[in-house]
Structure 1
Amino acid sequence: MKIVVIGGTGLIGSKTVAILRQGGQEVVAASPESGVNTITGEGLKQATAGAQVVIDLANSPSFEDKAVLEFFETAGRNLLAAEAAAGVRHHVALSIVGIDRTDNGYFRAKVAQEKLIVASGIPYTIIRSTQFLEFLGGIADSSMDGNVIRLPPGLFQPIAADDVAPIVAEVALAAPRNGIVEIAGPERVPFNEIVARYLKAIGDPREVVRDPEARYWGSRIEERSLVPLGEARLGRIGLDEWLRRSKAKA
C-alpha cells in the first residue's frame, strides 16, 4: 500500500514513517525539503499519484492568528484537491483535543482544517490528540510572568510522541471512520502540577504558580477544556517513564 505522510520528517511524522516502513508499506515522507509543498502545491500531484492513504501531520510555521488560519486552509485545500484527483481512499489528519471548546487562533485554524476534510467527500479519520509531553518545556517558557510561570489548574493529559505515532500508523491502515478518534496520555492531572513536576525532574528551578486566571495560548481554560470528555485511547507512557526514556536517549 502506498501511503503519503505530509510532514513526514517532523516529530510525529518521522516516527510514523518508520513504523509503516517496518510493516512493509510503501511510504513517501513528504515535506518541502523533499519537494512536496502543500502551500504552493509543488510536488503534490506526483506524491499522491497511486496513493491509497494520505496522513496529514504538517504544522504551521507561524502561530499568529491570521497566518496559521491561512496555512491550514491553503494547505488543506491543495492537499485534498490532489487526493481527490488521485483517488485517495483514506485521509488521516492529526488534530487537537478541545479545539471546539477553547477559543484561540491556532485552535480556530484547526477547526477550519477539520471542516475542509469533512466537506471534501474523501473518506477520513481525524485523530484529536492532547498536547505532547515533548512540548512541556515550551509551554513553561511561554507562560513566564516575570520570574515565575503562571498556569491554570485545569486538567491536562499530555501524551508522548512515542505513543502517538503507533496510533496514527494503526489508524492509517484501518478503514476510515468518517469521524473523530481521541487520544490522550495515561495521567490526568492539573496543568500547573505536571509542569512543576517536569521542571523539578530536569533541575529547572523556576517556580510554577497556580493561577485560575492564567491563559493557555491566550485562552481561558476551564477544568476540562483540554482533556477528552468521552471515550479516548490512552497511551502507556506517563511523565516519569517519558523522562526516563529521554535521559536514556540523551
Structure 2
Amino acid sequence: MYLLFAGIFGLILGSFYSVCASRYGTGKTVASPARSYCPHCNHQLTVLENIPLLSFLIQKGHCIHCRTRIPLFYPLIELVSMLWAILAAWNATTPLEWIALMIIGGICIVASAIDLRTFLLPDVLTYSGAIIVLGASYAGILQIDFIQSLLGAIIGAFALWAVAAVYKLIRKIDGMGLGDVKFMLMLGALTGVEHLTIFILAASVCALIFSIIAMWGKKNISTAYVPFGPFLAFGALITYLYGDQIIFFLH
C-alpha cells in the first residue's frame, strides 16, 4: 500500500516538476500563471485535463481544445517521478530518508529536464542540492558517511572540471559546461567518494548509448551536443540505491 501511495505522490510531484522545467527561462514562474495551459492555444486546463499521466492517456496525447500534440516531455517527467518515488520508498530505511530522497530526486528531475530543454543547469538547483545532500548526510538521514559525502563532492567536481579543462585545451572548444561541474557537487556528495567511479561509469555508459542512438544516421555529428546532466543524475541516483550491488556484479 505504501508503494502505491509513493507512486501516486510521485505522479503529483512530477506534474509540478514539469511546470517548473517548462517555464524556466520563459519569464513565467511556477505561480504565474497559476493555472496550467496549452502552450499552443493558451487554453487553460481543467481539473480533468490536468490529472498526471492519466489525462495524457485519455486525451491520446493531444490538447482537446486545439488538437495539438502534447509533448512527451510532460508525461515522461511524471512517469520518471513516479518510478523514483517507488524506488526510493522501496529502498529507504526510514521515513526521513525517503523524504530526503524525494527532495534530492525532485531536484535531479527538474535540473535534468531543464538541461534537456535549454542546455543549462541552474545554480539555484545545483548549489541548493549540494547543501541538502551534505546536510542530510551530516544529520545521518542518508546512508552515507559525511566525510565520504564531502570528499565525493569535492573530488567529483574537480575531476569533471579537469576533464572539461583538458578537452578544451586539446580541442579548443567547450566539451562540458560548468553547470555539470556544479551539479557534480551534489551528485558526488550523494554517492560518496567510495562509489564515485561506479557513478561516473554508469553515467558515461548511459550517455554514450543515448548519443549513439540519437545521432544514428546523422552526417554532421562533430558539433552535436548532448546534455550530460540527466545522465549524471541517473547514474548518481541509481548508484546511491544499488551501488554495492553494482560493484558486486562487476566483480
Q: TM-score, normalised by structure 2?
A: 0.32
Q: Which has the higher strand share?
A: 1
Q: TM-score, normalised by structure 1?
A: 0.32
Q: Which has the higher helix share?
A: 2
